[in-house]
Amino acid sequence: MLRKLLFVTLACLHTASAIAGGCQGQACRYLYFGEDKQGCLEIRNSGREDVEVVVYSGVSVPTTVRIAGGDTEKVYKTGRTCIPAADYRRSEAQFAGGPFSPSR
C-alpha cells in the first residue's frame, strides 16, 4: 500500500514538473501550470507581482495572459475556447510591473 502511494505521488510530481519545465524567464519560479476539471490549461501565480505569460501550444497562435499576484487564470484562444492542457508546449514569463515589481 505504501509503495503504491509513493508511486502515485512521484508520478504526479513528475507530471507537474514536466508541465512547468517548459517555462522560461525569471517570473517562472512563481508560476504553477495545471489543468482544470474540463482539461483546460490554467496558470497560478503564487507571487505578489503581476506576471505576463506568453503560452505556446500545438493548436493555436501564441497567447498572452496577464495574471495578477496570487490569482489563477485559464488560458483561452480566440473565441473564448480554452487551450487544452495536453496541447501546452512551452511559455515565457516576465514581471508585468506594478507596486511590488522587482527592479530590473
DSSP for 32-97, written as a single string: EEEE-TTSBEEEEE-SSSEEEEEEEESSSS-EEEEE-TT-EEE-EETTTEEPBGGGEEEEEEEEEE
35: in domain:
yes
Structural domain including 45 reads 2-97
Note if the pTM is more than 0.75: no
- Cβ neighbour number for residue 50 with a 10 Å cutoff: 19
23: in domain:
yes
12: in domain:
yes
Query: What's the domain count of the chain?
Result: 1
Q: What is the mean pLDDT of residues 63-79?
A: 90
42: in domain:
yes
103: in domain:
no
Mean pLDDT of the chain, nearest integer = 81
Evaluate if residue 70 carries a pLDDT over 90: yes
pLDDT digits (tens, 9 = 90+) for 12-43: 544 444 454 589 998 999 999 999 999 999 99
The percentage of the chain sitting over the pLDDT mark of 70, rounded to a whole number, equals 73
- Quote the cell numbers at residue 63: 497567447
